[in-house]
């Protein structure tokens, strides 16, 4: 299901924009449709009220918990079963974070990732993407969503951006706390830059909706770097002129190597765009939004952890509004790769930090449960048997 299909279904039942807004807020935030002085019973049209049970049943059937695997330090990997029996993975992260999937499988075929071992199986609809957030919110608060799970968001861009719009406008998540990750695709940069323009609001619903700016607060935010920038609005701003600021997510770019030949081997089906062009395009968006680009680098011993790579990273990112996330490789059955030592990883991070490139190490959650991205799904498919569900603590 796509959000656009849901909206059309609501409109067919007599819903106006304000009714759609109320329902999407209630669903995405897992809260009541009622507002003080405006209960849903009198706010929604009768035809919509009568159709709500069927709509809610369909929404609730989009995703349910197949199994949960604790990974320590506030991290839990969720194996999520979709309405057709296909499975994807979501990850509950510390401080209100959630990583969601955008596809079943992946066509990029990164050699160090389990998600793409069987190729792309199918796209997720925008409602299925949001449903992962709804499912997680039934157990924990979610204030940040990163689109870094199974799949390449660039290959499912319409659905991903539709989900981002719902979460940013209706889901009470700050725009900078919606992080779109990509291996680098011209379509992503073009579509994101289009969002830096303003667009008109739909007409109000019988004068019953208020025009206001809502505060979007979260415990986790995109790091603020000491660099003077302009722009970077973080709210769904509505002014007297009826202008709405489009949701502009933060951008994460999966780099993994500065060497074109090596990067092509690591990411065999990624677009053939030079690393220099990727960084420049990302920088334009970072300057337009005021959010630093988050570069992702899966560290593999003897492959992309050399001094030459560190020097090239420093040259590429010098003066850029960016941060580098080093992610030590998560062991995958059947693959020969290993993660570098903690000492080597720390050395790379400190070398870049000393040169003014803000760098940090992000551990890939799931080492203890063999839960690197795609592994839980692969194991469940192989076993082809129900997994015991561990109920999460609210």
The answer to whether residue 113 is catalytic is: no
The span from the CA of 250 to the CA of 285, in Å, is 9
The span from the CA of 201 to the CA of 327, in Å, is 41
Q: Which two tokens stand for residue 161?
A: 């951006």
The span from the CA of 266 to the CA of 282, in Å, is 21
> Which of 18, 99, 106, 373 is an active site residue?
373
Could you tell me which of 186, 192, 137 has the C-alpha nearest to residue 160?
192
Instruction: Describe the crossing of helices 3-12 and 46-60 by its angle, rounded to 10 degrees.
Output: 150
Q: Which two tokens stand for residue 366?
A: 């799931």
Radius of gyration in angstroms for the set of CA atoms belonging to the chain, rounded to a whole number: 21
Longest dimension (CA), the chain: 67
Helix (H, G, I), strand (E, B) or coil at 97: strand
> Which of 20, 68, 89, 162 is an active site residue?
89
The span from the CA of 141 to the CA of 57, in Å, is 23
The answer to whether residue 99 is catalytic is: no
Sheet holding 322-328, edge to edge: 63-72, 75-82, 87-93, 97-99, 144-147, 178-182, 250-254, 293-299, 322-328, 359-361
Q: Annotated active-site positions, please?
A: 89, 373
């Amino acid at each position: 299901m796509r959000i656009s299909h849901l909206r059309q279904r609501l409109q067919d039942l007599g819903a106006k924009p304000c009714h759609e807004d109320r329902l999407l807020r209630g669903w995405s935030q897992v809260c009541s449709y009622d507002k003080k002085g405006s209960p849903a019973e009198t706010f929604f049209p009768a035809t919509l009220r009568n159709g709500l049970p069927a709509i809610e049943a369909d929404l609730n059937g989009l995703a349910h918990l197949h199994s949960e695997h604790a990974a320590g330090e506030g991290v839990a990997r969720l194996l999520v079963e979709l309405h057709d029996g296909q499975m994807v993975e979501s990850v509950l992260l510390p401080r209100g974070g959630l990583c969601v999937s955008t596809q079943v499988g992946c066509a990029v075929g990164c050699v160090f990732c389990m998600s793409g071992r069987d190729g792309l199986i199918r796209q997720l609809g925008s409602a299925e993407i949001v449903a992962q957030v709804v499912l997680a919110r039934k157990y924990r608060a979610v204030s940040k969503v990163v689109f870094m799970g199974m799949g390449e968001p660039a290959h499912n861009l319409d659905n991903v951006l539709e989900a981002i719009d719902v979460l940013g406008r209706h889901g009470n998540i700050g725009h900078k706390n919606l992080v779109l990750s990509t291996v680098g695709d011209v379509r992503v940069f073009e579509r994101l830059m289009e969002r830096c323009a303003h667009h008109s609001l739909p007409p109000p619903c019988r004068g019953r909706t208020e025009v206001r700016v809502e505060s979007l607060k979260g415990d986790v935010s995109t790091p603020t770097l000491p660099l003077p920038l302009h722009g970077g609005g973080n709210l769904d701003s509505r002014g007297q002129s009826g202008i709405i600021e489009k949701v502009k997510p933060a951008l994460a770019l999966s780099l993994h190597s500065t060497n074109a030949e090596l990067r092509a081997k690591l990411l065999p089906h990624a677009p053939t765009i030079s690393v220099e062009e990727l960084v420049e395009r990302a920088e334009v968006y970072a300057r337009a939004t005021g959010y630093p680009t988050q570069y992702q680098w899966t560290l593999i011993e003897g492959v992309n952890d050399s001094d030459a790579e560190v020097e090239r990273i420093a040259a590429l990112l010098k003066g850029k509004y960016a941060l580098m996330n080093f992610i030590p490789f998560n062991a995958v059955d059947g693959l020969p790769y290993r993660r570098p030592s903690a000492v080597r990883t720390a050395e790379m991070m400190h070398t870049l930090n000393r040169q003014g490139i803000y760098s940090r190490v992000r551990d890939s959650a799931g080492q203890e449960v063999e839960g690197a991205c795609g592994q839980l799904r692969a194991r469940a498919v192989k076993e082809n048997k129900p997994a015991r569900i561990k109920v999460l603590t609210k």
